[in-house]
Structure 1
Amino acid sequence: MIASKVHEIWSRTLKTDAFDDDDEFFVLGGNSLAMTRIQREIQTELGVAVPMDELFRRSTVAELAAYIEAVLATA
């Protein structure tokens, strides 16, 4: 569920759904401004504040979803 929500957020931000959950954000055309939008939408829609450095480290939907799931599990 988290991965599908993150994929949806990326799709809206990148204006495409033509990517897999293991594709790299920056290879897909993402940039730091888009990353800021994604950070805000994750906070709003999932209730998780993901630090910017974690977004850069976890640059695939799968990696980011796993991070968010871990944060939610400890909350």
Structure 2
Amino acid sequence: MSSDIARKVEEIWRAALTVPNGQEDATFFELGGESISAVRIVSRIEEELGVWIDVGDLFEDDPNLATLVRSVTAKAEDASAA
């Protein structure tokens, strides 16, 4: 399941942000992330994966893709365990 989540989060991330070759580890802000892209990412994750994350997490944590995948995967696992 976590590999499915990782693929979907990556798809969402790349759709909302421009990720140039060689910058796959760049953070949200390094990729030009702003409020509209944060809302797009959060909304799609909630709609497509059923996982709620706060828009503020993107602004406060400035995650890269791998960090966001870990966060979404952990929240998905917590939700399924509840």
* Range of TM-score over shorter length: 0.7 to 0.9
Higher alpha-carbon Rg:
2
| AA matched with 1:60 | N
Q: Structure 2: any 5+ residue segments left out of the alignment?
A: none
Match of 1:13 in 2: 16
Q: Structure 1: any 5+ residue segments left out of the alignment?
A: none
After superposition, the Cα gap between the structure-2 partners of 1:65 and 1:58, relative to the gap in structure 1 and judged at 3 Å, is farther
Match of 1:31 in 2: 34
8 Å CA contact retained: 1:11, 1:17:
no
Q: How many residues align?
A: 74
Q: Flag as ranges the 4+ runs of structure 1 deviating above 6 A.
A: none
Deviation at 1:8, TM superposition (A): 0.9
- What's the TM-score, normalizing by structure 2? 0.75
Deviation at 1:55, TM superposition (A): 2.3
8 Å CA contact retained: 2:28, 2:63:
yes
RMSD between superposed Cα atoms in Å: 1.8
